[in-house]
Amino acid sequence: MNLKENLENALSGEDVEVKPVISVTQAGIIEAMEQTNASWPEAHTNPEQMAILGSSLHELAGLECARIPFGLTVEAQSMGAEVNLGNNERTPEVTGTPFESADDIEAPDDFLENGRIPVVLEAIDILKEKYEDLPIIVGITGPFTLTGHLLGIENVVRYMKTDPDEIEIAMENCLDASMDYIESIQKHDADVICVNEPTASPELIDPLQFKSMIKPNLEDLADFIDVQKVLHICGSTQPIISDMSSVGFDGISIEEAVDIPKAKESIEDECVIVGNISTSKTLLSGTPEDVKEDVKKVLSEDIDIIAPSCGLAPKTPLANVKALVEARNEYFNI
């Protein structure tokens, strides 16, 4: 089976004989770090280690993609924010920002050469040279989440209520930077781009605000992306499934809080569902048999692409990731 063609067909909504098993979200785990000698925080700044760790779950567990980078701070750091790279149990986080208002937000002239963007681009090249038919998935930060990184999420939540124009200006400025980054990712021939908007979850943002303020920027982003694309939003996204599906992405990535049959009923445009095996309850804390049970359940509900519901926790057992593929193989009698 050509893994790249299989995923391409699945994301295009075509019938496939075997549903792909991938991760569109963070895919670095400690067991893989130990077995490959590629670990955090070095794998955040070293392109060779990023490529090795990003493809480690393909090599060790049969996952049908490589996925880089590991976290959502690449753009913020390249725009001038301070970032703590964490350790092998914690992904990078923004710890400081030079921006005080929306008008201040502007990508520096060396944005694409700054921070870790060059590391991601070189890691794509390494992976493309090594794998002929393995899909390379690159995660980026959505404009609203990036705005939260640059202004502070507390300020963003306050502005959403008191000065929404401030947020719209900030998102437009972030959108320009995102498009520059996307253009470079596409020049390096990544196969799929996953736009991560965790801050746009209905648990944090009213669905009406998502529709009026966040969706238009995601539509612009979707129009700009030329390769296949997936939108990931955390949490119980059932109230915004129709809006997520009509943004213009090939797929939407959902968490286990979303009921797949109900989600399929809410989809407006041609869009497939990616997910939604629990990263906390099942993949982190469960057994391989728990994983298999959940995989077979979502397959019975006609999930289009099997994937973790969110970024993998670093302490996720490798055996549980293997069980994702094993369950799919058992279901399809491979």
DSSP characters over 109-163: TTGGGSTTHHHHHHHHHHHHHH-SSS-EEEEEE-HHHHHHHHH-HHHHHHHHHH-
C-alpha 250/C-alpha 206 separation (Å) is 24
pLDDT of residue 156: 86
Q: Is the separation of the CB atoms in 142 and 194 below 8 Å? A: no
Token pair, residue 167, equals 């947020």
Task: List, in sequence order, every residue forming a beta bridge with 193; answer none if it has no partner.
Answer: 138, 229
Amino acid in position 212: S
Average pLDDT score over residue span 5-25: 97
Q: Is the separation of the CB atoms in 58 and 64 below 8 Å? A: yes
pLDDT of residue 158: 83
Token pair, residue 166, equals 């401030």
pLDDT band at 114 (very low <50, low <70, confident <90, very high): very high
Residue 275 is inside which H or E element, if any? strand 272-277
pLDDT of residue 230: 98
pLDDT tops 90 at residue 68: yes
pLDDT of residue 25: 98
pLDDT of residue 85: 97
Amino acid in position 318: L
- The closest of 149, 172, 232, 171 to 196, measured between CA atoms, is 232
Angle at 220 between CA 214 and CA 221, to 5 degrees: 90
Q: Is 238 helix (H, G, I), strand (E, B) or coil?
A: helix
Average pLDDT score over residue span 232-257: 96
CA distances from 60 to 47, 282, 320, 329 (A): 20, 19, 12, 16
The CATH number corresponding to 3-331 among 3.30.1360.100, 3.90.870.10, 3.20.20.210, 3.40.640.10 equals 3.20.20.210
Average pLDDT across the chain, whole number = 95
pLDDT tops 90 at residue 160: no
Q: Is the separation of the CB atoms in 186 and 221 below 8 Å? A: no
**Cβ neighbours around 176 below 10 Å, total:** 14
pLDDT tops 90 at residue 164: no
321: Cβ contacts below 8 Å, ≥ 6 apart: 29, 57, 60, 61, 63, 283, 312
Q: What's the full length of the chain, in residues?
A: 334
Give the whole-number percent of the chain exceeding pLDDT 70: 100
User: In this structure, what are the phi and psi dihedrals at residue 259, rounded to the nearest 5 degrees?
Assistant: -80, 120
Average pLDDT score over residue span 99-125: 94
C-alpha 267/C-alpha 259 separation (Å) is 12
Alpha helices, DSSP H, located in the chain: 3-11, 30-36, 42-45, 47-54, 56-61, 74-78, 117-130, 143-151, 153-162, 164-187, 207-209, 215-224, 241-245, 260-266, 288-300, 318-331
The residue extents of the domains of the chain are 3-331
